[in-house]
Structure 1
Amino acid sequence: MEPRAHHFIIGLFTLVAFAAALGFSLWLAKSSADREWAYYEIVFSQPVSGLSEGNPVLYSGVQIGDVVEMRLDSDNPGHVRVLVRVDESVPIRKNTRAGLVLANITGSMNVQFSGGSPDQPALRGARDNPPTIVAEPSAFHNLLANGEQLVVKADELLTRATELLSEDNIRNTAAILENTRVATDALLARRDQLSALLEQFDAAAVRAEEAAIKVSRVSDNAYELLTTDGKQVLQSMDRTLVVLHSTLARVDELTKDNAGAMASGLQGMGELAPALRELRATLRTLNHFTRKLEQDPTGTLFGNDTIKELPQ
């Protein structure tokens, strides 16, 4: 009797669980059927891989409906028209944006609405005449679209890295490092000389600074001299030139006024030239006689020698 009682309890529990699950399914189906839906058609200009009928439709991450139908645009097969149904109580407005979001790591996609200002008019969608919403490109789609280019760039980068790490480049790099080490050792070996050279540079810089200070002082003194004494000298020269100009003007005027008298005077001086020559000869003769008189007064006065006239 006891094993049969256990089997009866297990069977009864199974039936109750099945009935509860069936009732829950019927209630869920009834609530879904009684729910009011608004329909919208979303136009995607990019591939919608991972999206399928029955996938959830979200609004800011909250499920508000699902995908009803998917078809290619008859006028432009590059566009996909997706019909979705949304709980009628959720306001879809004119500036509400739509796009695709990644549902899980398997690549499944969901439709998601976002945005929408309260001051914009609401879109009322029916199954036979749904309003159209143009979808925005998703970041995930852009990443997939650029994936091939990224792979190509990565391959080029790896190729260049391989060329950079070739044996020839490695040997050249090792030679450069070795040369650098040798140069460093040479500098270290002559660090005392380098220190002395730097000290000389420092002393030269100090002397150059002192020379610059002296030159600056000389320039200041010269500037001060030019602005004070030099200015006075220039003013004096200016006054002298004015006086000289006035004097020359007067001399020129006197020359013009006395041109005749000067010409007569110069002519008279020309006539005096023979008389001056005679006077000069007489003076020489007198000078000679005076010397002879000093040397021999008696012979000169009473002698027979006559005074000879010196040639002119």
Structure 2
Amino acid sequence: MEPKAHHVIIGLFTLITVVAALFFALWLAKSSSDREWAYYEIVFDHAVSGLSKGNPVLYTGIEVGDVLDLQLDPDNPSHVRVFVRVEQSVPVRESTRAGLVLANITGSMSVQFSGGSKDSPILEGSRDDPALITAEPSALKSLLTNGDALLTKAERLLTNANNVFSEENTENLTAILNNTREASDSLLGNRDQLAALLQRMDDAGKRAAEAADKVSAVSHNANDLLQNEGKSVLISMSAAMQTVQKTVARLDDLTRDNEGALDSGLQGMGELAPALRELRSTLRNLNQFTRRLEEDPTGTIWGGPTIKEVSQ
């Protein structure tokens, strides 16, 4: 009798649980049907893999509705029209953006609304006349769409890397590393000479700096000389040139004023030349006569032979 009572209690508890679950489901369905919804049709110009009926619709991460239907656009099969409903209290505006987000790691997708400024008008859509929203491509979908191209590029990159690290290139790289090591060992062996060379270069740099300072000082002195004494010399030369210009101007005026007299003087000098020649000839004859007179005065004067006395 006791086991039978236990079975009755268990059956009664199960029946009460089922009835309560049915009442809860009816209440939930009634509550869902009593809510007011706004309906929207979202147009996607790319694949919507992972999106299906019943998937949630989010607004900035909060669930506000669900997906009712998906179908291809009859005018453009590359586009997909997604019919969703959203709680009417949610302000979906004309500036609101729609896109897809990953719902879980299984690849299921959800529709997500975001943005929407207060100044933008609210979109109102009914079940028979839903408001149209154009979806924006998501970064995730672009990544998935371009996955094949990325894999191809990655494969090409790995192939090029294998070619770079081929056996021949590995041998060449090993030789380069060995040469580098030998060069570094040689440098370490001659570090004293390198230190001396660097010291000489440092000294040469110091001397070059000193020479530059001296050249700068000489340039400064030359500049001062040109600015001070050179200026006075230039002033003196300018004054001298002005004097020369005045003198040349006076000579030009004098020549122009006495042009006739100069022409007459030049003509007189031309007539004086024959007289000078005759005077030169006369002076030459007179010189010869004087010389003969000194040598033989009597003969020169009387024109006869000179009488010489004979000694007894």
Distance 1:288 1:221 in 2: 79
The 1:222/1:260 distance shift into structure 2, 3 A limit, reads farther
Match of 1:278 in 2: 285
Evaluate the alpha carbon distance shift between residue 203 and residue 152 of structure 1 in structure 2; reply closer, same or farther with a 3 A threshold: same
Q: Map Cα deviations across residues 141-160 of structure 1 (whole Å, 9 max, x no partner).
A: 11111111111111111111
Separation (CA, whole Å) in 2 of partners of 1:67 and 1:286:
162
Where does residue 231 of structure 1 map in the other structure?
Answer: 234
Q: Deviations over 1:221-254 (max 9, x none)?
A: 5452473354145325514633663575457857
Offset of residue 14 of structure 1: 2.4
Which residue of 2 is the match for residue 153 of structure 1? 153
Quote the offset at 1:9 in angstroms. Answer: 3.5
Q: Which secondary structure does the structure 2 equivalent of 1:266 belong to?
A: helix
Aligned length: 293
1:262 partnered with 2:265 = no
The answer to which of 249-258 and 158-167 deviates more is 249-258
Q: Secondary structure at the match of 1:228?
A: helix
Partner of 1:125: 125
Q: How far is the alpha carbon of 1:216 from its aligned partner?
A: 4.0
Q: Any stretches of 5+ residues in structure 2 without a counterpart?
A: 297-306
Question: TM-score, normalization: structure 1?
Answer: 0.80
Change in Cα spacing, 1:5 to 1:255, as seen in structure 2 (3 Å) is same
TM-score, normalised to structure 2, is 0.80
Q: What secondary structure is seen at the aligned counterpart in 2 of 1:50?
A: coil
Which stretch shows the higher mean deviation, 179-188 or 203-212? 203-212
Q: Distance in 2 between matches of 1:213 and 1:34?
A: 96
1:242 correspondence with 2:245: yes
| Partner of residue 297, structure 1 | none
- Aligned letter for 1:267? P
Q: Shift in Å at residue 175 of structure 1? A: 1.0
Where structure 1 has 5 or more consecutive residues not aligned to the other structure, the ranges are 290-301, 306-312
Pair 129,182 (structure 1): closer, same or farther in 2 beyond 3 Å: same
User: What's the offset of the Cα at 1:202?
Assistant: 3.3
Residues 157-214 of structure 1 show CA distances to partners (whole Å, capped at 9, x for unaligned) of 1111111111111111111111122222223333333333333333433444444444
Deviation, structure 1 residue 267: 3.4
- Report the 3-state secondary structure (helix = DSSP H, G, I; strand = E; otherwise coil) of the residue aligned with 1:84: strand
Amino acid in structure 1 at the alignment position of 2:279: L
Q: Equivalences for 1:101-116 in 2 at 5 Å? A: 101-116=101-116
CA deviation after TM superposition for structure 1 residue 64, in Å: 1.9
Taking the aligned partners of 2:308 and 2:196, their CA distance within structure 1 comes to 103
Percent of pairs identical after alignment? Answer: 54
